[in-house]
Every structure is written in C-alpha cells, then in structure tokens.
Chains A and B, each alone.
Chain A
Amino acid sequence: MSNLIEINHITKRYEMGDNVVMALQDVSLTIRQGEYLSIMGPSGSGKSTFMNILGCLDTPTTGEYKFRGVDVSHLNDDELSAMRNREIGFVFQNFNLLPKLDAAQNVELPLAYAGVPAAERRERAVRSLERVKLADRMHHRPSELSGGQRQRVAIARALVTNPGILLADEPTGALDSKTGIEIMRLFDELHQEGNTIILITHEQDIANYAIRNVYIKDGAIHYDRLNSQRTIVK
C-alpha cells in the first residue's frame, strides 16, 4: 500500500517571551493507507501538538509534512482549510457538535463548506448517519442525544466527506466504559472498511485497540511498533 502521510524531521517551537518550549523535536513518521494507529504519551508529551499538525490545524516550525505526496507544511490558511475539509475527519473528546443544529445539519456542515449542493448534502449526511446507526435520530439536537450518540454523530460528520484520515483525539474520554467500547467497535469496523484511523490517547487500554502503537515522550517518538496484544472487539 502507498504512503498516505510522510512526516520528516518536524519540530514545533512555542515561544512565550523568553521562554521557548520545544513541543516536538525531530519527529518522523510514515502512515500508509488503511492503517490503524495510536499515538500515546503522557500529559504534556506533545500529543495535541502533533495531532494539530497532522490535522492541518497548525503547521510545523521546521520539517516536512507530505499528504498524498504533497507538502502541506507551507500551505496558506485557505489551502489548509481545504485540506481539513477534504482529507481530515476530526473526532474530538468533547464531540464539538454545534448545539443549535440537529444531527443531520451537523453532519452536513463539512459538505456545505465544500460547496456541495443542498439536496446532495442531505442525502450524503443521511447515508453517513445510517452508517453509524443513527438515521432515526437525524432531527435531534445534540442536547437531545446521549454521549455515545453524540460521538457517533461526530463520527458521521467526520466520515461524510470521505476523508483520507480519521483523526480521533481521546474519542472515549468523555464516555463511560461500556459506551466507549461501542465507539471502539465502530472504529474497528471503519478500519475494516478501509479507513485510515489515527487514535490519540493517553490510555494504554484505548491504544491497545489499534494495530500500530506510537509512543511520544518529551516531544519525540519513544517507540513505534506493531501491537502484539491487540484488543479485539467482539
């Protein structure tokens, strides 16, 4: 399989007055199409910083980030927006749904920014909600849904543009363990359907669902190995 993502020697510096923090130092990583990868590390290790760069929310200070062979580390703001829109499906710990919109409208939103006409948008949103088994809740607002259901709406929103990667940041962090397992089962299915998934977590239990484990410490990759004790969701 081809390399979807190639990261070569990236660093991220935060400067706050005289204080300089190297949140990432010389990180290199290659991710292939269809991989299921976890990025784990203790608090303050640089996970969020790395995810922001992977998700095109931020650019590295130095180094190279290639997505499908295109260097995205020097894209301008509009180009980064387009990248996020087409290639990145975000799933956040706290769902990040828009409270005033119902499930279907939330799922449609990325398509609206992609310029997809309204009718097609609705059709694709419904299909995406069907995929996460929430078609019957499409007219509910987030406040009318359970935590697990909200996260599934968020996953439907992430999937609706057929992005290159699903980027999940502590997707089970705000859920009880039973609901968390359901979400992990959904990720497993999505992986089997061919989606590339990157899971960011500080929990070993969650990292264990992934096939490949990357461990970050102090802004550098500590290890990067296949998961020998993978948790299989029944």
Chain B
Amino acid sequence: MEYSENIKVALQGLTDHKFRSFLTMLGIIFGVASVIAMLSIGEGAKREAIAKYQDLGVNNIIVREKDMSAAELEEVRTKFSPGLSLRDAEVIRDIVPGVSRIAAQAEVNAEVKYASQSVKSSVIGVTPEFYDILNYQIKEGEFITPIHYDAKHKVCVLGSGIAYALFQKEAPLGKMVKIEDQWLEVVGILENKALFTETVGELAARDLNTDVYVPLSMFLDRFSRGNVLASELQQLTIQVDNSDRLMETSTLIDEIIRRHHFGNEDYGIVIPLELLKQEEKERQIYNFLLGAIAAISLIVGGIGIMNIMLATVMERTREIGIRRAIGARKSDIMGQFVTEAVVISIAGGLIGVVLGVSLSLLVSVFTDVSTYIRLYSVIIAFAFSVIVGVVFGYLPAKNAANLKPVDSIRYE
C-alpha cells in the first residue's frame, strides 16, 4: 500500500472525530507552546543582558570610587588615600600590559541653566577617550575632542534628555548654557541611551540622558567640588586589547591602586564581561529547568496521545480485522496507526507553534519580561512533537498490528 493512503486515512480519521482529536492534541499543543515560550523568554533575557553589558563595554574594566559619606571620606583621607586621580590613570597606563585606552572622569551634581530653564544634572568631566571606549553615539555636533581637552575649552555635550528639557524646539548647538558660574558652549548632543536600570557594583542605576559632558581639564580648573576632600576623579574606564586577560589585568590594576591608596578600599572594580558570564551561568540553570518542564509537558502530551490511541485501537478492532481479511499486512496496520499518531502530533504541533509564538509576543507586550523567538526553537519544538507522535504512537500501533485477524473480524 502506498504511504499517501495512510496519510489520507489518518486525515479522514482526524476530521471524522474533530473534538476528540482536539482533546488528544491538547497535551502536545501545550507542550510545544511551552517549549517555544520558555525558549523565547530565555533568549530574551540573554539578549537583554548582552545589550546591557555591551553598553558598559565587554573589553572594559571599570574602576569607580565608592559612594562615601563625608565622614567616610574624611576617614580614608586621614589614612592617606589620595582618592582616585589622574595619577592612577598614568600609573596604570605605564605599568599594566595590554591596556589600550583609559578614560578618566570626574563628576559633580549641578544645575544646568539656559534662558529661564534650569535642570538638575550630573556634570561629567571626561577625557576624549571616553567616547571611543564606551558605547555612546553622537546625534548632532561632536563629542569632546582632544583640542577641547588640551585647550581647556569651555564647551559641553548634552545628553538627549537634558537637551530637550533645556531647549525643547530650539537648536542647542552653539548656544551657551550656564553651570555653576561658568558659561559653556553646546558643541554636541548625544543619541538617546537606554536607562541604566540596575546597580552594577559601584555603578548606580540612573538615567544617562540627563548627563552633561565637559573636558576634564577644564572641569578640574573651573568647577568647585561638593566637598574639599573630594577625589580628583570618580571613575576610570580601562580598555584592554584582549578580553581573555580581563581577570589578570583587573587583579593587577587592583593591586596598583590599592598600593597607591595606602590599602584603603575606597574604590570598586566592575568587569562587565565577567558579570555577563556570571549572569549567563546563572541563567543556564534556570533555562535548563524551564526546558525540563517544557519537555515533561511534551512527554505528558505524548502519553495523552498514547492513551487515546490505545482506546481507539480497541474501538477499531473490527476495522482492523476487516482490513487484515482483505489483505492488509501487519506493517500496513502499523503504518496506518503510527501515521495517525504523527498526524495528530503534527497538527497539535502546528497549533502549539501558533500558540507558543503568540504567547511569547503577548508576554513581551504585556509584561516587562522581554522575549525573543528564534527560528531554531520553533523547529526544535515542532520536531520534538513529531518524535513524540512516533514514539507514543508506536505501542498502540503495534497492538493494532498484532491483533489476530480471526479474532478481530468477529469483534463486536
């Protein structure tokens, strides 16, 4: 018998008992849907993490001053720590191998004023390397250039949020803004950046779009600091040329700075790539659990198919007897019932794919869990459902094929 006959018979059986077929498929439908949904949630989390750490730079080591109260600051000063300084940057550049660039930054919170507008902001003095090391994009104008830096120009680059708050529809480039008692010319506007939503080590969660960037040289000359004991710098971002050596390099940097700070731990080190790896490892366990749950639901779906198929075979004993009497071989009966199981699981798999994809989309639209559907996850889920059909259709089909024609033809 040609195989297409089996498919025809199976489809016929499916449409003859629509409701029952649907119930049979239910397990497979939810199994496939949950596999897809869980894989897409896992993938979404992965992509989110990668995006987050990419912003911090996967080749970077970030050394940041600890957030200290006035009393704590006084204490470390009495213990001779000079705090984070340009000198730290120089020493690292001179001693540590494999460092390609270092960006230094100093910060102060200040009001930024233009015309009648006034916005609270972090004013950040940076070296020009900042732009190359961190994943910032300029929207208009230019970032702080070596010329600005060397000549200590009174210029600033605005985050997109603060640019809008100060200027609304006006064009900011070339305008003068006032910070503390200094007038600065706006030379650039940054692209919008995603919110930095969680605190990573010493890096506090905040909205980067309200920052204002100025040349560090000019900043150190002209801006007052909140506290006379304040360190020269708040952060060093160090880019290495080989991400495999991040750990060794950071250990070395840690030792150097600690020595220069006379053993005071008034700074912290963040390695974005290490954090990413760590997060990935944690997620792996979680993903494995999700996958196991999904796989179990698929297997339960398969058992559902087997259960109904066993009952179907009983119910159709007479039909099997008739087919055998007019010449069907065992293998024909076997093929027919396995095909029916596979057709049911394929149909269930297809519905499950649709459900799983919609579920993933719904989750990403209506919750703050982000999901990402990869084609391979759809293919895996679907292939799995077909395999489940074959595996769990096998036993009932074998039962059907092994019925003795003599007995089954007389079965009432």
B1 proximal to A (CB < 8 A): yes
A150 proximal to B (CB < 8 A): no
Query: What's the interface size class on B, roughly?
Result: 20 to 34
Contacts of A110 in B (CB 8 A): 326-327
A185 proximal to B (CB < 8 A): no
A84 proximal to B (CB < 8 A): yes
Contacting pair A109 B406 (CB below 8 A): no
Interface SS, B side: helix
* Contacts A100-B16, A112-B5, A113-B1 given; does A85 touch B327 at CB 8 Å: yes
Taking the nearest CB of chain B, how far is it from the CB of A222, in angstroms? 24
Q: Name the residue of chain A whose CB is nearest to the CB of B325.
A: A90
Contacts of B329 in A (CB 8 A): 77-78, 81-82, 113
B355 proximal to A (CB < 8 A): no
A60 proximal to B (CB < 8 A): no
A148 proximal to B (CB < 8 A): no
Contacting pair B322 A84 (CB below 8 A): no
Contacts of A55 in B (CB 8 A): 325
Q: Which of A37-92 contact B (CB under 8 A)?
A: 52, 55, 57-58, 77-78, 81-82, 84-86, 90, 92
Taking the nearest CB of chain B, how far is it from the CB of A153, in angstroms? 13
Residue in A82, A92, A113 whose Cβ sees the most chain B Cβ within 10 Å: A113
Contacts of B148 in A (CB 8 A): none
Contacts of B13 in A (CB 8 A): 100
Contacting pair B406 A96 (CB below 8 A): no
Contacts of A78 in B (CB 8 A): 329-331
Contacts of B318 in A (CB 8 A): 96
Contacts of B332 in A (CB 8 A): 113
* Contacts A57-B406, A96-B409 given; does A113 touch B327 at CB 8 Å: yes
User: In the complex, A112 Cα to B5 Cα: how many Å?
Assistant: 8
* Contacts A58-B406, A100-B12, A115-B2 given; does A109 touch B323 at CB 8 Å: yes
B31 proximal to A (CB < 8 A): no
Contacts of A233 in B (CB 8 A): none
Contacts of B16 in A (CB 8 A): 100
Contacts of A29 in B (CB 8 A): none
Contacts of B405 in A (CB 8 A): 57-58
User: In the complex, A85 Cα to B2 Cα: how many Å?
Assistant: 15
B207 proximal to A (CB < 8 A): no
Kindly supply a per-residue 1/0 record for chain B positions 1-40, scoring 1 wherever the CB is within 8 Å of any chain A CB and 0 otherwise. Answer: 1100100000011001000000000000000000000000
Contacting pair B406 A82 (CB below 8 A): no
Contacting pair B406 A84 (CB below 8 A): no
B324 proximal to A (CB < 8 A): yes
Count A-B contacts at CB 8 Å. 63
Contacts of B184 in A (CB 8 A): none
Q: Name the residue of chain B whose CB is nearest to the CB of A55.
A: B325
Kindly supply a per-residue 1/0 record for chain B positions 371-412, scoring 1 wherever the CB is within 8 Å of any chain A CB and 0 otherwise. Answer: 000000000000000000000000000000000111001000
Kindly supply a per-residue 1/0 record for chain B positions 285-323, scoring 1 wherever the CB is within 8 Å of any chain A CB and 0 otherwise. Answer: 000000000000000000000000000000000110111
Residue in A52, A78, A157 whose Cβ sees the most chain B Cβ within 10 Å: A52
User: In the complex, A96 Cα to B404 Cα: how many Å?
Assistant: 16
Contacts of A86 in B (CB 8 A): 327
Contacting pair A84 B325 (CB below 8 A): yes
Taking the nearest CB of chain B, how far is it from the CB of A161, in angstroms? 8
User: In the complex, A115 Cα to B1 Cα: how many Å?
Assistant: 5
* Contacts A57-B406, A100-B12, A112-B5 given; does A81 touch B322 at CB 8 Å: no
Identify which of B319, B322, B326 contacts A85 (C-beta below 8 A).
B326
B173 proximal to A (CB < 8 A): no
Q: Name the residue of chain A whose CB is nearest to the CB of B331.
A: A78
A226 proximal to B (CB < 8 A): no
Q: Name the residue of chain A whose CB is nearest to the CB of B13.
A: A100
Identify which of B322, B328, B330 contacts A96 (C-beta below 8 A).
B322
Contacting pair A84 B326 (CB below 8 A): yes
A114 proximal to B (CB < 8 A): yes
Contacts of A98 in B (CB 8 A): 319, 322-323
Contacting pair B409 A57 (CB below 8 A): yes
User: In the complex, A84 Cα to B409 Cα: how many Å?
Assistant: 14
Kindly supply a per-residue 1/0 record for chain B positions 149-171, scoring 1 wherever the CB is within 8 Å of any chain A CB and 0 otherwise. Answer: 00000000000000000000000
Q: Name the residue of chain A whose CB is nearest to the CB of B326.
A: A110
* Contacts A112-B1, A113-B332 given; does A96 touch B327 at CB 8 Å: no
Contacting pair A57 B1 (CB below 8 A): no
State the A residues within 8 Å of B (CB). 52, 55, 57-58, 77-78, 81-82, 84-86, 90, 92, 96-98, 100, 109-110, 112-115, 157, 161
State the B residues within 8 Å of A (CB). 1-2, 5, 12-13, 16, 318-319, 321-332, 404-406, 409
Closest 10 CB pairs of A and B: A85-B327, A113-B327, A81-B329, A110-B326, A57-B406, A96-B322, A58-B406, A57-B405, A78-B329, A52-B406
24 contacts between A and B (CB under 8 A): A52-B406, A55-B325, A57-B324, A57-B325, A57-B409, A58-B406, A78-B330, A82-B329, A84-B324, A84-B326, A85-B327, A90-B326, A96-B318, A96-B321, A96-B322, A96-B409, A98-B319, A109-B326, A113-B323, A113-B327, A113-B328, A113-B329, A113-B332, A115-B2
Known: A77-B329, A81-B324, A98-B319. 13 other contacts (CB 8 A): A57-B324, A78-B331, A82-B329, A85-B326, A90-B325, A92-B409, A96-B321, A96-B325, A96-B409, A100-B12, A113-B328, A113-B329, A161-B327
